[in-house]
Amino acid sequence: MNPKIVINKNISYKDVDYCYEVLYNCIAKSITVDFELPSKFESKNIGMEIIILQLSITWSRSFKDGNLLINLYNNITSINNIYDNEILFPIITYAWNRHNILDNTGKYDLKGYLRVPNKEIHDKMLKALPLKGQKLLLTSFDHLPKKRGILPCFEPNGEYIENEQYLLENLHKSLYNIINLSTITKHNYSKVSMPIVNIIYELMKNTYEWAKTDENSIPLDPNIRGLYIQFIRKDRQQLIQTSTENPGLVNYFNSSALKENSIGELYLVEITVFDSGPGFIKKFESTNDVPNINKLNILKKCLTKHMTSDQSIYKDVKGLGLDRILRTLNNKGFLRIKTDELHIYRDLINTPYVNTSNSEDIDLFDWTSNEKNEIIQNYYSHGSVLSIIYPLS
């Protein structure tokens, strides 16, 4: 078998960086590498699931001949519950037509075993139903036939849903089940449901408009676009202790603006939108004349009011999308973006929103070093991950 990148079930962000280093070393040496995933994730790092998804997409784009391996811990019958680790579904579906999908010993071809579990989880997605553990995963697959690949909750009749109210109606049952786990969150649901839907609406609309084709407007095959939501209910110190790799998150969780309940817990929801498209940077560069502008400043332009890669008569309206999200998060939320060679964040409690049309006024911080506007250049990641933490109490 080929050498392999192994994702362990307790993976850290430093481990992810090392996996990217191995991946790009193999690319440089023209060595085909396999990609091994655990059937269960136990990492306590917030946002890790989608970061692994993005890493798997980067691997797949780099090595069509590599094998996708799933560690079943010597128990083939555990495959019946494989999607208890829900993020494996978009990884496996993305890889289905490109790679062999085997157990980690190479003994079993898993595709035959996976057809029934695939149908079960896909049927749930078509109905926008939540998964176990107060989670919601909704993924569209642009390379599949529309009736199978595109989720009607976002794109009824092949067009993006008309407005936020319709989207709230489509997602209400799932959001209610995810959020309403206590008297506090039940009381707050009517206040937070619309801002959360506004965020989802804008971010999924962004993937609809910009993440279905590459930077040359050629449809991507395979291609995924999706939403992942999970409810977080933890003691403040637990959150801080599991975020020590990321000083920005530690500062955010330390903020007195986040209010604990009577037993010292914080109630939060994590909203992540992901895609396997060209990413913010390449898409912006392909539709704008941006000589001598570095990648960080391009990303700032994407977050600035009225700055958009759309050149139509509607550009001033569309250019409000990501700026609107910053306004929604102001004084309460946390934003993280991983795309291209960038991994940045903005804590909207400690660095509040600035109403500006000048991208130079937008402050962004490096995810690893915590430096403001001085970004570490990471290994290239395909697609984009935009993750938000929104308080419920």
Q: What is the pLDDT of residues 194-205, one digit of tens each?
A: 999 999 999 999
Question: Cα–Cα distance between 122 and 93 in angstroms, integer?
Answer: 10
pLDDT of residue 170: 96
Q: Name the average pLDDT for the chain.
A: 90
How far apart, in Å, are the Cα atoms of 261 and each of 160, 184, 188, 304, 392? 38, 8, 13, 35, 11
Domain with 373, as residue range(s), is: 127-391
Please indicate, yes or no, whether residues 378 and 270 belong to a single structural domain of this protein.
yes
Please indicate, yes or no, whether residues 334 and 294 belong to a single structural domain of this protein.
yes
Contacts of 225 (CB under 8 A, 6+ apart): 139, 140, 142, 204, 207, 208, 211, 212, 273, 274, 275, 276, 277
Tokens of 366: 């490096």
pLDDT of residue 313: 33
Please indicate, yes or no, whether residues 91 and 58 belong to a single structural domain of this protein.
yes
Please indicate, yes or no, whether residues 53 and 187 belong to a single structural domain of this protein.
no
The verdict on residue 122 lying in a domain is no
Tokens of 392: 């419920």
Task: Give 231's strand partners.
Answer: 269
pLDDT of residue 180: 72
**Cis, bond preceding 222 (omega within 30 deg of 0):** yes
Please indicate, yes or no, whether residues 268 and 306 belong to a single structural domain of this protein.
yes
Please indicate, yes or no, whether residues 294 and 362 belong to a single structural domain of this protein.
yes
First CA to last CA distance, the chain: 51
The verdict on residue 280 lying in a domain is yes
pLDDT band for 78, please (50, 70, 90 cuts): confident
Q: Of the candidates 82, 116, 150, which is a domain's last residue?
A: 116
Please indicate, yes or no, whether residues 160 and 253 belong to a single structural domain of this protein.
yes
Please indicate, yes or no, whether residues 91 and 142 belong to a single structural domain of this protein.
no
Edge-to-edge order in the sheet of strand 381-391: 135-141, 224-235, 265-275, 381-391, 334-340, 342-347, 365-366
3-state secondary structure of 283: helix
* Full-model pTM: 0.93
Please indicate, yes or no, whether residues 193 and 215 belong to a single structural domain of this protein.
yes
Give mean pLDDT, residues 280-300: 86
| H/E element, 281 | helix 279-287
Please indicate, yes or no, whether residues 91 and 168 belong to a single structural domain of this protein.
no
pLDDT band for 285, please (50, 70, 90 cuts): confident
Burial of 389 (0-12, 13-18, 19+ CB in 10 A): buried
Give mean pLDDT, residues 64-92: 91
The verdict on residue 121 lying in a domain is no
The verdict on residue 62 lying in a domain is yes
Tokens of 195: 């801002």
Q: Is the model's pLDDT at 183 over the cut of 80?
A: no
Please indicate, yes or no, whether residues 12 and 142 belong to a single structural domain of this protein.
no
Task: Give 140's strand partners.
Answer: 225
Q: Of the candidates 87, 116, 145, which is a domain's last residue?
A: 116
Question: Cα–Cα distance between 48 and 32 in angstroms, integer?
Answer: 25
Share of the chain above pLDDT 90, in %: 73
Decide if 363 contacts 346 (C-beta within 8 A): yes
Please indicate, yes or no, whether residues 140 and 56 belong to a single structural domain of this protein.
no
How many domains does one find in the chain? Answer: 2
Q: Of the candidates 89, 116, 143, which is a domain's last residue?
A: 116
